[in-house]
Structure 1
Amino acid sequence: MDVQQSNPFQTPQADLQQTTTNQAPLYSIAGVGLATFIGTPLAGAWLLAHNLQLLGKADRVAMVWGVSIALLLITLVLAFVLPEEVPALPFAIAQLMAMIMLAKNLMEAELKQHTEAGGVYLSNWRAAGIGLLFTLAVAALMFAVLMIFDI
């Protein structure tokens, strides 16, 4: 009688099937939009840059950062130039729509392939946290600039 076969504490012998893929997790377009809404276009650019580098499109990262910085600067200039009666919500919506359209244009097809291949996505809570960190950083930077130039 074989001791290993009669051992009730031995782990069962079974073939394990791998259900995960070797692809790195990506941010969804909704995550890019959420980060942009909470944390300016810079947060959305951070997530887009992450995805583009993992998708092998690192040559487009500089363009994404340029677009997001331009959107932020245009909004800040308009905030200082326009009267206070002008609501800020349309500018936030315009930034949000621009970043979502940029994300769809750059990686929608690759994200569909990622989903079909069983790839996973990073949490939108993580995207929201990144957006909050960018909000704090931009607010601190603006406060420092206002204090230095005593505006």
Structure 2
Amino acid sequence: SSNENFLIKSAIFHHRFVWIHPFFDGNGRTTRLLFNLLLMKEGFPPAIILKNDRKKYYDALNSANNGDYSKLLLLILQASERSLDIYLSSLNNTYDNYRPISDIVEEEKLPYGQEYVSLLARKGKIDAFKEGRNWLTTKEAVLDYIENRERKRILK
């Protein structure tokens, strides 16, 4: 379809623009900005590459250096999907089930303490927001993080 062709062409543009390295500094940031402008112009959500995915991003660019764009395209699609999920969840979220992290940690007998869960919130690893001096999140957000972490440990 034309959407698939656009995404493939966008991934190739992304790789080639960062590869030519046109600027002294800021090539990656500039490339990602231009790339996201292209995506949004065509109605796609932005593909935000998280700090956690930096190694995957560089691996995908290295694969593209060898002509294989599949990893870069997959990373872009996953990042766009994550952005879309954030947008959609914000439309439906009333924040009624958000509680202070201290309450959740105390009541749920989690394997992590309040300071660590607060750090996760500050770093954007769990869905949370700050209200005054308190970070608020949901039990589900913390349990999802724990489950994903366990899954990654098993896969290693």
TM-score normalised by length of structure 1:
0.34
- Which structure has the greater CA radius of gyration? 1
Higher strand share: 2
Higher relative contact order (CA 8 A, sep 6+): 1
